Amino acid sequence: MPGEETAYPFLKEDGGEIVLYAHIQPRAARDKVVGQHGEALKISLRAPPVDNKANAALIDFLSLLFEIPKSCVRLKSGEQSRIKRLSIKGLSLSRVQQIIASHLA
């Protein structure tokens, strides 16, 4: 159902896609899910925030994390910000929640 509430404030289902709000920490030691940061999922990335490198690294990281093609992950807003809104297609909301929960444990 559209707008379905989830256990995580950074996840929403909207029109057949999952919307993920992420807070990015660039130039980190490694790429990983760090935890929750306010109402966003905090993700650290090794890539610097220049020339769109962090955005590309984020899409690569999420496609690996969720085991989906890069074409199923799209940056919807926040190109120049640490807070990003992303669209994830090809997975159910419950599956996305399971994967995130396994990385937050």
| Structure confidence by residue, pLDDT tens digits, 2-14 | 445 568 999 999 8
Q: What is the pTM of this model?
A: 0.91
Q: Is the pLDDT of residue 17 over 90?
A: yes
- Contact (Cβ atoms closer than 8 angstroms) between residue 43 and residue 34: yes
38 located within any domain: yes
3 located within any domain: no
Task: Give the pLDDT band (50/70/90) at residue 15.
Answer: confident
74 located within any domain: yes
Cα 15 to chain centroid, rounded? 18
SS3 sequence of the chain: CCCCCCCCCCEEEECCEEEEEEEEECCCCCCEEEEEECCEEEEECCCCCCCCHHHHHHHHHHHHHHCCCHHHEEEEECCCCCEEEEEECCCCHHHHHHHHHHHHC
The total of structural domains in the chain comes to 1
Range of the domain at 99: 11-104
Task: Give the pLDDT band (50/70/90) at residue 38.
Answer: very high
73 located within any domain: yes
39 located within any domain: yes
Residues 6+ apart with CB under 8 A from 22: 10, 40, 41, 42, 43, 58, 83, 84, 86
Q: What is the pLDDT of residue 2?
A: 45
CATH number at residue 29: 3.30.1200.10
